[in-house]
A and B are shown apart, each in its own frame.
Chain A
C-alpha cells in the first residue's frame, strides 16, 4: 500500500478520509489497525478489502495492482484473496451455516462435493461441526462470528481481514473469537484486524494507529 489517498466529495466539500497512507503487510503478519472514529480506518479497511478503490496511490495484494480494476475484477480479487470477518457477522439469513461457508467457494466455481467437504472442515476447525445445518438466527452471536471465521478460512485467502470482529460480542465470545484468530495466525495466515479496543489490538504482532487519515504510529509488539 503506497501513498493511498481517498477523497470524498468535490471542491469545498472535499474530505480527505485517507491522506497518503503507506503500509506494507508481510505474509504471516498479524496487524491491528487502530484509531478513533473518523480516523479513516473504515476507509482503509474498505480499500484493503478491495471493496473500494483509492483516489490515488497504489495498492498491491500478492503483487497484483488493483488500482484500476473494474467491479467484476474486484469481486474476483475479494473472492480469491480476501477473507472477510465483519462486525455484524454478515451471514446470509435462511441459509444453513454450511451453505454460508460454501458460498465464496461456489462463486469460485468449486465443485459441490469439494466445497461441502471444505466447509465442514472449516466449521470443524472453529468448533461448530455439529451446527452445520443451523441457520444463523438459530446460533448465538459468538457462534455466528465463528461461522463467519469458518467462511473466511474455507476461502484460504491471502489475507484475513477482520473489521471490529468482536464489536457485537460479549467478553466470553470475544475471547473465543480472538483465540481462534490467534490459532489461525499461528498456522501462518496473514491477518489484519481493525479495532478500537486495546485488548484486541494487544494480541496482534504489530499495531498501526491512524489519526486524521494519516499513520500516527506503527509499532511492533516486541518493541512495546
Chain B
C-alpha cells in the first residue's frame, strides 16, 4: 500500500521535471546500451571465430613439418619432411584406431586464368578423402575420385572465391582453367566455408598426382590433414599420429620434425581468449553504467535541495521518514529502469548492424544483468539523496525558500 503510494508520488515528481528526468535516464540508457552492445560484440566475435574454427572441422588434426630449433641451432640436421608415405601410414586402422582418415596436402601459390580473367590463389594437391576430412562439401558438381587420383587427371574442385573471381557470371562446371599454364577442368565448386582467418574459399583443389606431375614435382608434402573418428577422440588420435610419425622419422619429443595442431584445443584456447575479451568489453560498459549511476545521485541531490520545502510540507502533514525515503528511492529506481529499457531498445537496434564483419549476438544474461544492475544502481545511488530527504527536519525544510 505505502509502496504503491510512494511509487505514485515518485512518478509525479518524475513527470513534474520531464527534461531533467530524461537527461538522467540518458546516462543509464547509454550505460546499459554500452554493456549489452559491447558484450554482444564480444559474443559475436567469439561466435564468428568458433564457427570459422568449426568450419575447418572440429575433429581435425593438422600435421605440418617443423624444424626443431633450439636457440636458433638446428638440433637435427637430417630433417625428414612429411611424405605421402607418412599419410599412408596414418591411415592404418590397426595402429591408429581413432584416426578416420588422413590426406596429404601439397600447397603452392599459383595464378589461375579463365578465358578472360586471372586470379592468384593456392592450389592444393590432395587425395579425394581431403573433402570428408576437412568437412568440405561441394555446392555444385562432384568431387574427384580415387580413379582420378590414380590416373592423375587434370580436374579440379574450386573454392567459391575462385569461382566468383574467374566465372562471375557463368557456371564454372565443365569449364577449363589454367593454373600456372597447366589446364584443369572444373568438376565441382566447394561450398562456401567462410571464416575469420585465411580465406578457406580462396583455393583450387586437384588430385595430388596431377599437381605433382604438372606443377610442383614430387617430394615432401606441405601438410597432412587427419580426421579423428569423433570430436571426443581428437586427443587419442593426436597421440596415435605422433607415435606413428615418431617411429617413422626416428624422432622423440625434443627432436620432432613435425607438429600436430589440434582444432579442439585451438577452439578451447580461442574461447578462453575471447571470454576474457568479452569480459573486458563488458567492464568498459560497466564503467559507463557507473557514471550513469553517479548522474542519478547528482540529479537526485539537486532534486532534494530543490524540493526541500515540498518535503517539509509533506512531513508537516504527516509523511513518515520511511515514506519519503521510499518515494525518493523509487523515483531513482524508476528512472534507472526507464534508462535500462531505453538502453535495451537502443542496444537491440545497434545489434542489428554488422560492424567490422562481426554480427553482434545479444546475450540474454547481459540483458537480465543490465536490468538487475540498473535497479541496484537506482537503489544504491538513490539511497544517499533519499536518506538526506528523509532526515530533513520539517521546521527547517518549511523555512527553506
Contacts and interface: CB of A to CB of B under 8 A. Distances in A.
B318 A79 contact: yes
B395 interface: yes
Contacts of A51: 316, 394-395, 398
Interface residues of B, number: 22
A30 interface: no
Interface stretch (B242-250, B320-328, B342-350): B320-328
A96 to B, nearest CB: 10
Contacts of B147: none
B397 to A, nearest CB: 10
Per DSSP, chain B at the interface is helix
Interface residues of A, number: 27
Nearest to A43: B395
A108 B318 contact: yes
A46 B317 contact: no
B313 A90 contact: yes
A36 B312 CA distance: 25
Given A72-B321, A86-B398, A103 B314 contact: yes
Contacts of B76: none
B109 interface: no
Contact of B319 (A52, A90, A107): A107
Nearest to B394: A51
Contact of A78 (B2, B5, B316, B323): B316
A90 B398 contact: yes
A151 B314 CA distance: 12
Contacts of A72: 320-322
A220 interface: no
A134 interface: no
Given A51-B394, A86-B398, A109-B1, A95 B12 contact: yes
Interface string B285-321: 0000000000000000000000001101111111111
B398 A107 contact: no
A75 B320 contact: yes
A11 interface: no
Interface in B1-54: 1-2, 5, 12, 16
A107 B394 contact: no
A94 B16 contact: yes
B316 A84 contact: yes
A91 B310 CA distance: 8
Interface string B379-401: 00000000000000011001000
B314 A92 contact: yes
A49 B5 contact: no
Given A92-B310, A92-B313, A95-B12, A78 B318 contact: yes
A46 B319 CA distance: 17
Q: Which of A52, A86, A92, A109 has the most CB of B within 10 A?
A: A92
A221 B48 CA distance: 93
Contacts of B322: 72
Given A93-B310, A94-B12, A49 B316 contact: yes
Given A90-B398, A94-B12, A106-B5, A79 B321 contact: no
A80 B398 contact: no
Identify the interface centre among B12, B314, B322: most chain A CB within 10 Å of its CB.
B314
Interface of B: 1-2, 5, 12, 16, 309-310, 312-323, 394-395, 398
14 contacts: A51-B316, A51-B395, A75-B320, A76-B320, A78-B315, A78-B316, A80-B318, A90-B312, A90-B316, A91-B313, A92-B313, A103-B314, A107-B318, A107-B319
